[in-house]
Amino acid sequence: MSVIDAMRASLAALDPVSIEIQDDSAKHAGHAGAKAGGGHFRLQIVSPRFAGCRTMERHRLVYDALGPLMKREIHALSITAKTPDEH
């Protein structure tokens, strides 16, 4: 399973309406995190679970859903998290 597939599977816990994940790892070749094997990703996620949450709370929900992937497979993650009404 690819890292993106694993991310999608983990983020399913947030009942997303849509998920877009872009792997930007190639742009960071030679970076310390890239050398250790962790990738750089950009995530856009829309979920009703974000309703009533501030940005930091939304990001925490994403980090919690990704769990162990954040320690190994993901070195850097740029997150855009919105509700369906904001999308």
Per domain, the residue ranges of the chain are 3-82
pTM of the predicted structure, to 2 decimals: 0.87
Q: What is the pLDDT along the chain (87 residues), one digit of tens a residue?
A: 899 999 999 999 999 999 999 998 877 565 554 555 678 899 999 999 999 999 999 999 999 999 999 988 998 899 999 999 997
Task: Report how far apart, in Å, the C-alpha atoms of 61 and of each of 13, 20, 34, 38, 55 are.
Answer: 10, 16, 24, 20, 10
Identify the burial level of 75 via C-beta atoms within 10 angstroms of its C-beta, where 0-12 means exposed, 13-18 middle and 19 or more buried: buried
Token readout for 46 is 């829309």
Q: Does domain 3-82 have CATH number 3.40.50.720?
A: no
CA distance 4 to 23: 8
